[in-house]
Amino acid sequence: MGRQLQQRQNATAFEQCTKSATMTQSVPLDETIEELTHIWQDLLGMEFIAPDQNYFDLGGDSPLAVQLFARIESRFQVKLPLATLFEAPTIVELAQILRREMAPSGWSSIVPIQPKGLRPRFFCVHPHGGNVLIYRDLSRHLGADQPFYGLQSRGLDGSCPPLSRIEDMAALYVKDMQSVQPHGPYFLGGFCMGGTVAYEMAQQLLAAGEEIALLAFVDTLNWGGSSLPSLWEKSLHTSERLRFHISNFLSLDTTAKKEFFREKVKALRTRIPVWRTMLLGKLFKNSGLGTSETRVLGQIWKSNFQACLDYFPQPYPGVVTDIRPAKQFRSYKKPELKWDQLARSGQVVVVLPVNPAGMLVEPFVKHLAIALQKSIDGAMQNLENKSASKLAQTSNALNDRGKEVPVDLGLH
């Protein structure tokens, strides 16, 4: 009886997959697609996957993507960045990219997470980890009409070392961003370190005569000139982070608690190999320890963290939107870490009803999406007001120029 039920379930799953593939297009099976299908089936725990089914719709996520791309590199000897999943979320699309072998000359930091929509494009810079898969849920909550582009670290594909200066990162990201949008007004932002890079991008764009409509920080602090944390500070930070995670967990209902716990376990599985590789590298000074993927991620994390410490931001002539969690780590409360003294035109502070450990994860990310959408709306309104004001000034000037001025000739 149990075997018959399992056979019926497998037959149903096969029928659904076959139907899905037939509805979109007839996909010719080749060795690349077959190999990718085997890898997906193994990692996702599914017996049947159609070549045109979406990775995320099948339950795939960022932590599992690390394993997926490690397997792809091992099998095909081609190293791809995780953000490739935004461009190619299906097996058939991923196979096309693999066939191109993704030469280093084709690398771009720009990732079209959600390129469609009539609203202004929002460009969001990566955090310390260098990846932008973390922004997928945020983009989804912003809606189908909000174009959302991520900017990922150079070196994620392993073809070159990561950049070590915020100024160099900003210059590269501006160049790649302008391949999508040549001129402003620009809407920029980033989580954690991403806000720091966006700040420097805004400075460089203003120096080039471009307009910045929005510069949004998400839990971003000014670490310029700070020293590396001591062992005690790291221990205190870890304990506080654990308390924030527990607080987030306890605030949820039963169903949400299960999902939250599952997501955190997946994330931990991905981070532990990276941390282990970084630790072993420090202890034994051996760059060959760990897998290729974890070595690359560890190098990028370390390089990005040091770049933030070495960056000394200059005063910014515009307004900064600072989106913060309701509570903060003790070490983050120092006045010198804030941006209010650098934002010459003022700072808009938005406090979210979440802890710092949950701003970008479900179900808390919706609060960030609402705040960011309001900030974009406000910036759009400011642009309209500025445009209307300029139009009125131009109209008044033309009217004054065209007025007839009575001249008294003294004939009366």
Q: Could you tell me which of 64, 309, 21, 320 has the C-alpha nearest to residue 165? A: 309
Give, in order, the Cα–Cα distances in Å from 332 to each of 78, 360, 408.
40, 19, 72
DSSP 8-state class, residue 118: S
Note the pLDDT of residue 277: 53
Residue 77: per-residue pLDDT: 78
Residue pair 35/99 in contact (Cβ under 8 Å)? The answer is no
Q: What long-range pairs does 7-14 form, CB within 8 A, spacing at least 24?
A: 10/47, 10/48, 13/46, 13/47, 13/48, 14/47, 14/48
| DSSP secondary structure letter of residue 347 | E
Q: Is the pLDDT of residue 371 over 50?
A: yes
Q: Residue written as tokens 């790291």?
A: 234
**What residue ranges define each of the domains in the chain, with the CATH number in brackets?**
1-102 (1.10.1200.10), 111-231+304-389 (3.40.50.1820)
- Say how many residues make up the chain: 412
Output b/e per residue, 281-296; b: 16+ Cβ within 10 A: beeeeeeebbbebbbb
Reported as a single tens digit per residue, the pLDDT across 219-231 is: 999 988 776 777 7
pLDDT of residue 365: 93
Mean pLDDT of the chain: 81
Helix (H) or strand (E) run with residue 122 in it: strand 122-125
Cα separation, 86 vs 244, in Å, equals 30
pTM of the model: 0.72
